[in-house]
Chain A
């Protein structure tokens, strides 16, 4: 009995001690102890990757390291500063200022690679440590910078995509974070019988683009040489499949390195082809001619008497070369890029129809391309049109368009009359599920017949143009040059132009439609002497790469 009593009291005291301790932990001082055994952490999802149409990577993830120092643990500050100065190439004054001995934790440098981290770790010092940072890795560097955008930080230091695909598809790419709630012992090990809750993170979706990195490379290489050769301020090229408006390539120069975006200014990130507007000049003429053909107001072989300059109120409209050929066909108006002839066609169409077609082609509204930062361009409301607007609009003055709007409208001229939604994403991959992006017809602008007619006229424009270009043999091209002066404070600066060429090949079944824009070229201000030759240089390589057989 005595033994049992001893045992009883032994257990009783034990239980009372445990109850008192639990009361202290759970009621008197819960804040202090709760964090010790319950570990709650966020499981970061992997950001979705971006691939080109052949599943070659454009954007991946990589791990970088942030070096931190715990000043209160530092034994020899001088030695530490000397070490970091040598290994990180940081100056002594910066390190001295950063390692504030009154603080518990200070960040020294981010963006360190694995080799640097391992080298510093080999010193086996307890003074510093490393934190992992997930970052983007762009294996092709700036090859598709304006198209892809970059991954930066928001005001809360959270990663967020800016511009291009990274910006537009940020939510798809980010994924959903998971949560880990786990009871741990004093050594940080999970307590097996404790509470373990784990909600897995959902990784971001992978995105497959319509662009081809080799097409990008071809375009970029030629554009770079072109911008240098023409001593231009900048340049852009868009190549698309006119039947579907899938973008095959988009390059603007100068560009930026998306991994080191912080070394560039905000202006460098702007994708000129979708965010900036310009007067299209003569590249706009085929759109008005097609509208007049569709309405049955003109035919390709109709004659027009090009007598000389035309007076509209106080303004005189002249041809670009001030030459007038008398009786010419409608096709020849396009071939010689006659402004006077376009005033005639615009007059036949009338301002109401012209405004209607400009809207039908999608000018003045966004194309809904899947890239961040698109602007809508500007067209004047019909009520604000003056007679001079009706006269100049047909040759692309007095209207602001974006490059992508022009390409989309031009595609409708040669694809049977369909206004297609331009797009850059071909597939979205979520685990094993593949979501394919189908081409989308936004509007029917022209009939098949008109499309066929204007396509032939555009082939004739290239074949009978006054400028002679070196064209790859065996292929038929169609296209139109354009030279637009830049409006500065309400008047045109003749020394500053935007030279462009929009064309397609092969004419029978176009593999691509391409817009080449050269801004402020100094060697020659004309599109026919800058953008057009560059177009044919790029086209030659593209036809070979795309394996298009000569006809």
Chain B
């Protein structure tokens, strides 16, 4: 009977030590995960800012103007139907 109590206590101690070690390891793993997601969130945020910048750059008048200059597109290429409707009627 006495032996079985000692064995039980030792068993509980061993179990508690095991649980503690498991919690400790799990804590480190979760800490790693938190750290990983923190970095991920920061880089996604960064990527988001960069993508937004890249998209809006392509929609800007500045970009369009530089493209027009590169393609040598000037006022002489533009349709003038609104000022001279006769052009619109000509087929």
Contact = CB atoms under 8 A, between A and B. Distances in A.
Contacts of A193: 23, 27
B72 interface: no
Given A114-B50, A140-B62, A544-B82, A57 B56 contact: yes
A222 to B, nearest CB: 12
Contacts, number: 57
A63 B50 contact: yes
A190 interface: yes
Interface in B16-39: 23, 26-28, 30-32, 34-35
Contacts of A143: 61-62
B59 A190 contact: no
Interface string A272-298: 000000000000000000000000000
Q: Which range holds the interface residue count of chain A? A: 20 to 34
Interface string B56-70: 110111110000000
A141 B56 CA distance: 12
A188 B35 contact: yes
Interface in A198-253: 213-214, 217
Residue of A60, A192, A213, A214 contacting most chain B CB atoms (<10 Å): A192
Interface string A520-551: 00000000000000000000100010000000
B1 interface: no
Contacts of B31: 185, 189-192
A286 B67 CA distance: 45
Residue of A139, A191, A540 contacting most chain B CB atoms (<10 Å): A139
B7 interface: no
Given A190-B31, A190-B35, A192-B27, A139 B62 contact: yes
B61 A140 contact: yes
Contact of A62 (B32, B49, B60): B49
B49 A61 contact: yes
Interface in A166-194: 185, 188-193
B56 A60 contact: yes
B61 A217 contact: yes
Interface in B52-91: 52-53, 56-57, 59-63, 82-83
Contacts of A63: 46, 49-50
Contacts of B61: 140, 143, 213-214, 217
Given A114-B50, A143-B61, A189 B35 contact: yes
20 contacts: A56-B56, A57-B56, A60-B52, A60-B53, A62-B50, A62-B53, A63-B50, A114-B50, A140-B62, A143-B61, A190-B31, A191-B27, A192-B27, A192-B28, A192-B30, A192-B31, A193-B23, A214-B61, A540-B83, A544-B82
Given A62-B53, A139-B53, 15 more contacts: A56-B56, A57-B59, A60-B49, A61-B49, A114-B50, A139-B56, A143-B61, A143-B62, A185-B31, A189-B32, A191-B27, A192-B30, A192-B34, A193-B27, A214-B61
The 7 closest A-B pairs by CB, nearest first: A192-B27, A189-B31, A139-B60, A192-B30, A190-B34, A57-B56, A139-B56
